[in-house]
Amino acid sequence: MAFDIEMIKKVYANMAERVDKARELVGRPLTLSEKILYSHLWEKTPSQAFKRGKDYVDFAPDRVACQDATAQMALLQFMHAGKAKVAVPTTVHCDHLIQAKVDAKTDLKRAKEQSNEVFEFLSSISNKYGIGFWKPGAGIIHQVVLENYAFPGGMMIGTDSHTVNAGGLGMLAIGVGGADAVDVMSGMAWELKFPKLIGVKLTGKLSGWTAPKDVILKVAGILTVKGGTGAVVEYFGEGATSMSCTGKGTICNMGAEIGATTSTFGYDDSMSRYLRATNRADVADAADKVAAYLTGDDEVYANPEQYFDQVIEINLSELEPHLNGPFTPDLATPISKMKEEAAKNDWPLQIQVGLIGSCTNSSYEDISRSASLARQVAEKKLKTKSQFTITPGSEVVRYTIERDGFIDTFDKIGATVFANACGPCIGMWDREGAEKEERNTIVHSFNRNFSKRADGNPNTLAFVGSPELVTALAIAGDLGFNPITDKLINEDGEEVMLDEPTGNELPPKGFDAEDPGFQAPAEDGSGVKIVVSPTSERLELLAPFTPWDGQNITGAKLLIKAFGKCTTDHISMAGPWLRFRGHLDNISNNMLIGAVNAFNQKTNNVKNQLTGEYGPVPATARDYKAAGIPSIVVGDHNYGEGSSREHAAMEPRHLGVKAVLVKSFARIHETNLKKQGMLALTFANEADYDKIQENDTINFTDLKEFAPNRQLTLEFVHDDGTTDTILVNHSYNEGQIGWFVAGSALNLIAAAGAEETKA
């Protein structure tokens, strides 16, 4: 039986009435995305039609999921909410704090020793507040959610940008910051601007070397890293229904790389098969009864241009395998063009490492197709030219592929199987020689390939592809190798070609595991004590942020003017810094150390206006804070792209930054800044970015009149005494301005909890 089956049945029981009412209010057929949105309104039964991209709407998600790195801060915040138990089903998954170095057994043992304090904290706080806990080694949050919790037509939020993976099972699953999760866990509404809709019509059918991964790699090339911002991407068509459920999950997973709010597919036979294979026949049976409400209306898919804000069509029968990168996931290159592009751009052709797995591509189907290629190494007397690693997505997948002989197959080609955790995908990879910072090429089936992302080396060129293409390229050791047309020379000097990959959508013998790794919470957690040592370097109880004093911010110093791409990896790096995710002051020492200073093109090197000297960004911010001087960060387009980590918002808030002014924001980061009581502002005129000088002092002249749909005025006082006065935009509504006034959204929750307790 599925987890939370009664909750799922309740969602389905209400769906028809709510969707029918929404269809009446909107006055036309509905997309799947609209059906899920309107059936999850905080007000329950819809009473009005909402404007896409304009109206802020309160929703009631069905569940919350947190991974260990973000769960620490989310749960530290939840402790202030004054609640005895979470209001909706919630889970915590220990997947980020396991570093890949030797092999699964060795690495997991080391992680349990090094991060025992954090794991014990998460285990006990989960036990106290009624949260399901998945132990280290159980698997990556998104794969575990797909296997256990995702259900068609549901809505969930998660404290990781790749929460969207659950769209492969027909959900609207949305990545958020921890403060958003705390809202929902506390029983409050969750706010989202009603999204725009992008429809992707898939015709034809995948075959040969082309995989579901190639669909999203193609879409990323079309929409770029910001083309999906503020939108839900809905896939449909014969190509969608012909694809496996886990293949759909891969496509939705990487929707985070185009900035999409989330991505989803309509309920179909592949989802039913997957639910039944993962011991959730009860969910499949319940979904079958309301199947018409779990996909878009027929008229929508017949005439998509009338119902979506943008429509993309991809013929899967003509789609070619792609490699995207380096340094950005939207630089899409068909494999037939890679040799030419590599030569043009001087990309190193020799592949050092091929890595498959992660939350994006670790399904049974993915591994079985890669194993079919690994078997050919011995059969065709080849030798694998690159290092090769596998990261299983869950203990269920790992146990099953071991039982079915795939791990033995990989062993025979010298592969390393890492722990069931994020590992290299998030920079938790202790790669030998990375400290030399040599220019090199790797290929992987992960989702992100930003500079330094995998191994900390800024000169590692990472290319993203399907597991089967990555496996073929690792065997060849050559970035320009096209397995569709090119031959390899075997140990006997003969020319051979790799046969097309083959595999099973689901394991013929079923999924299995001796211990999936789940720990159920106590029925009554009131007696559980949460202890955080005051001398801990890993965990720190939070103190509330200070409310706004009602005055204009004046005399603020420019902390950094960031140049070009500034993702949450640049703002708050992962890798070795993950160990401080539960300690705000310690992790603040990585604030913006990866951002490029526009004035000297260096990282972690800014001018301290108090001393006139150049130094690290965090140290400079601490100097301003100690002197009682506010500071401001300026940035470029799509600022805060990437992971949902709210540390990228909490760190500046902690170190005295009052406002972040940029050309445009990534959705999650803008919300995170608002939640922490900061000013998230955009240039009314993007050219004003160029007016900002290194020694500027900034004054707000009309912050006292802060109101929705009203621009703010900022005065930049330059070194020579001249000034530039500019207008800036914001997207705050009344409620969000309340977060700013209170000092943070959490301060409001805590105040409400205190009033509730008194009553």
Catalytically active residues, by annotation: 95-96, 160, 448, 643, 645
Which DSSP symbol is given to 726?
A: E
Pairing relation of β-strands 657-662 and 56-59? unpaired
Q: Which one, of 648, 602, 599, 652, lies nearest residue 624 by Cα?
A: 652
- Using an 8 Å Cβ cutoff, are 566 and 639 in contact? yes
Secondary element (H or E) of residue 124: helix 116-129
Alpha carbon of 432 to those of 113, 411, 438, 496: distances in Å? Answer: 22, 20, 12, 32
Measured CA to CA, the distance from residue 676 to residue 747 in angstroms comes to: 9
Cα distances (Å, whole numbers) of residue 396 to 143, 212, 277, 324, 390: 10, 22, 12, 29, 15
H or E element, residue 754: helix 745-758
Contact 464, 453 (CB under 8 A): no
Burial of 362 (0-12, 13-18, 19+ CB in 10 A): buried
Backbone torsion region of residue 500, taken as left when φ is above 0, otherwise alpha when ψ lies between -120 and 50, otherwise beta: beta
Q: Give 493's contacts (C-beta < 8 A, 6+ positions apart).
A: none
Q: Report the alpha-carbon angle 144-146-147, nearest 5.
A: 65
- Could you give the CA distance from residue 653 to residue 591 in angstroms, rounded to a whole number? 10
How far is Cα 137 from Cα 289, in angstroms, rounded to an integer? Answer: 36
Strands 657-662 and 679-683: parallel
For 198, residues 6+ apart whose C-beta sits below 8 A from its C-beta are 223, 228, 231, 232, 233, 234, 260, 308, 309, 310, 311, 312
- Residue 479's contacts (CB-CB under 8 Å, 6 or more residues apart) are 323, 338, 339, 342, 347, 348, 349, 350, 351, 441, 443, 463, 473
Token pair belonging to 143: 């794969």
Instruction: Determine the Cα–Cα distance for residues 300 and 55; give it in Å rounded to an integer.
Output: 22
Sign of the alpha-carbon torsion through 656, 658, 664, 665: positive
Residue recorded with tokens 């309160």 = 58
The span from the CA of 667 to the CA of 592, in Å, is 19
Backbone angles phi, psi at 231, to 5 degrees: -130, 155
- Among 574, 270, 589, 566, CA closest to 425: 574
Amino acid identity at 609 = Q
